[in-house]
Amino acid sequence: MAEQIEPGDEIVFYVTGVQAFGGTVRVTSEMFEDRAKVWPGKPGKVDPYPWRFTTEPVLVLDEDQFVPAVELAAELEHVQKWPADHWHLAFQGQLRAVSDADAQLLSGRLREAAAAPAAG
């Protein structure tokens, strides 16, 4: 999948711990290899994610604005590939391409969340 990404593509971030979408970045470079550690890991282990891109923020939500994935799961074509009880697996792990319809739904909901008045 990473080999297919090119400058101008957008990536939506899914925050696993809270099962929500938190923002979007735009890819601004070709893929490159970088072995510098990004995530803490076991001492002596190489970084399992050496293929990277530079990006720029498109839309970054505050945590209280995150879009709960459960609210979109039934509408997203991409989620239909997983058993209903395990819909959240559709967003975990490596990068995954989604249909244009799913991309429009995700970006629309993220924009709505960004425009909504702050809670409180």
CA 91 from centre of chain = 7
Report yes or no: 69 and 14 within 8 Å, Cβ to Cβ: yes
Are 53 and 33 spatial neighbours (Cβ–Cβ below 8 Å)? no
Terminal CA-CA length for the chain: 40
- Report the pLDDT value the prediction gives residue 120, as an integer from 0 to 100: 56
**Least reliable range by pLDDT among 13-27, 36-50, 83-97:** 36-50
Query: Does residue 39 carry a pLDDT above 80?
Result: no
Q: Minimal CA–CA distance to 60: which of 120, 110, 10?
A: 110
Q: Which of 12, 42, 32, 9 is nearest to 24 (CA)?
A: 12
* Per-residue pLDDT reduced to its tens digit, 47-90: 777 889 999 999 999 999 999 999 999 999 999 989 888 888 88
Average pLDDT over residues 28-40: 87
Counts for the chain of helices (H) and strands (E), in that order: 1, 6
Domains of the chain: residue spans and CATH = 2-114 (3.10.590.10)
Mean pLDDT of 23-35: 95
